[in-house]
Amino acid sequence: MRLFVVLMIAFGAALPVRAAVPPLLADAIQKVLADANRWAFTQTIVEENGKGEETKRTVVRYDPSKTYADQYVVLSVDGKPPSESDRSKYRRRGERRGERMEKAESEGRTDTVGSRQSLGELMDLDGATQAAEDRTSVMFEVPLRKEGNKRLPPEKFLVLARVNKTTRAFERVEVKLREPLRAALVVNIKSGEGLIEFKSVDPKFAPTISRLEGTGAYSILFIPGGRSYEVRHTDFKRVKPYAERFGVQIGTMQAIDF
Q: Which residues pair with 170 in a beta bridge?
A: 163
Can you tell me the distance from the alpha carbon of 190 to that of 95, in angstroms, rounded to the nearest whole number?
A: 35
Give the CB-side neighbour count of residue 239, counting CA atoms within 13 A. 19
* pLDDT 10s digits, 9-41: 333 333 444 448 899 999 998 888 888 788 999
pLDDT in tens, 196-233: 899 999 999 989 999 888 876 444 444 444 578 888 99
Strand partners, 73: 61
pLDDT in the model for residue 6: 34
At 135-190, the pLDDT tens digits run 999 999 988 887 766 667 777 778 899 999 999 999 999 888 776 555 544 444 44
Residue 248 confidence (pLDDT) above 80: no
Q: Residue 214 in contact with residue 197, Cβ under 8 Å? A: no
Q: What is the model's pLDDT at position 220?
A: 43
If pLDDT is split at 50, 70 and 90, which confidence band does 117 have? Answer: low
Q: Which pLDDT belongs to residue 254? A: 59
Q: Please write the tens of the pLDDT for every residue from 71-106.
A: 999 999 999 999 999 999 999 988 988 887 777 666
pTM of the predicted protein model: 0.76
pLDDT at 8 over 50: no
Quick one: what percent of the chain has pLDDT higher than 90? 36
In three-state form (DSSP H/G/I as H, E/B as E, the rest C), the secondary structure along the chain is CHHHCCCCCCCCCCCCCCCCCCHHHHHHHHHHHHCCCCEEEEEEEEEEECCCCEEEEEEEEECCCCCHHHCEEEEEECCECCCHHHHHHHHHHHHHHHHHHHHHHHCCCCCCCCCCCCHHHHECHHHCEEEEECCCEEEEECCECCCCCCCCCCCCEEEEEEEECCCCCEEEEEEEECCCEEEECCEEEEEEEEEEEEECCCCCCCCEEEEEEEEEEEEECCEEEEEEEEEEEEEEEECCCHHHHHCCCCCCCCCCCC
